[in-house]
Amino acid sequence: GAVVSQHPSRVICKSGTSVKIECRSLDFQATTMFWYRQFPKQSLMLMATSNEGSKATYEQGVEKDKFLINHASLTLSTLTVTSAHPEDSSFYICSASPGTVNSGANVLTFGAGSRLTVL
Amino acid sequence: AQSVTQPDIHITVSEGASLELRCNYSYGATPYLFWYVQSPGQGLQLLLKYFSGDTLVQGIKGFEAEFKRSQSSFNLRKPSVHWSDAAEYFCAVGARTGRRALTFGSGTRLQVQP
């Protein structure tokens, strides 16, 4: 089945530094990937839609200059948290599907998540 | 805009007892419906999904869910809960066309008593 891999699974950084999280589709090509954020004991909130070869689409309220998304290939999307601060500490989860945009029958596969802690 | 409501934040059941987790959705038409399970610190695992056809869908780990259009509900059930079922459960909806991002409910945390 479809597998999505995220790296790193855990990262701790100092305030003011940048952190990159990778999301890879291991056995399929994904023109679209989705990045979610999950606060402790809360639900998943969609941050942005990553589109291969074009700019990401950000949800309302998400700072695109803080959360840089690059979808450089059909199997890799990266999320870079720039100038991280303690309030950026969270669980970040990516997801992807092997289907096309208008093929709504496809099911999203989720990565295992990346826990970011900013000191 | 689509939305999902999971009225129960926390549910505790005894091992071997039956389980029902509630999910109500708001959507302009019939959406795609999903239930995911998340263990602490882990990603999401798909339990089951509804696209069309039979409104009672079977999933993994002995779970099932029933789509009731008249009630805009998609409740998750299991006849006999095991201790390993303790986790967070999320109901989600997705559009049938266009963008495939899912909208999640707030989740229900299941605790299983021995």
B5 in contact with A at a CB cutoff of 8 Å?
no
The shortest CB-CB distance from B90 to any of A43, A91, A95 is to A43
- Percent of chain B scoring above 70 in pLDDT: 98
Chain A residues in contact with B45 (beta carbon < 8 A) = 110
For A45-67, write each residue's pLDDT tens digit.
999 999 888 899 999 999 999 99
A24 has a pLDDT exceeding 80: yes
The alpha carbon dihedral of A101, A104, A106, A109 has a sign of positive
One-letter amino acid identity for B32? Y
Contact A93 B43 (CB under 8 A): yes
pLDDT band at A101 (very low <50, low <70, confident <90, very high): very low
Question: For residue A1, what are its two tokens?
Answer: 């089945």
B29 has a pLDDT exceeding 70: yes
Question: For residue A98, what are its two tokens?
Answer: 């092997």
pLDDT band at A104 (very low <50, low <70, confident <90, very high): very low
Chain B residues in contact with A42 (beta carbon < 8 A) = 106-107
The shortest CB-CB distance from B43 to any of A101, A105, A113 is to A113
Contact A49 B106 (CB under 8 A): no
For B64-87, write each residue's pLDDT tens digit.
999 999 999 999 999 999 999 999
A71 has a pLDDT exceeding 60: yes
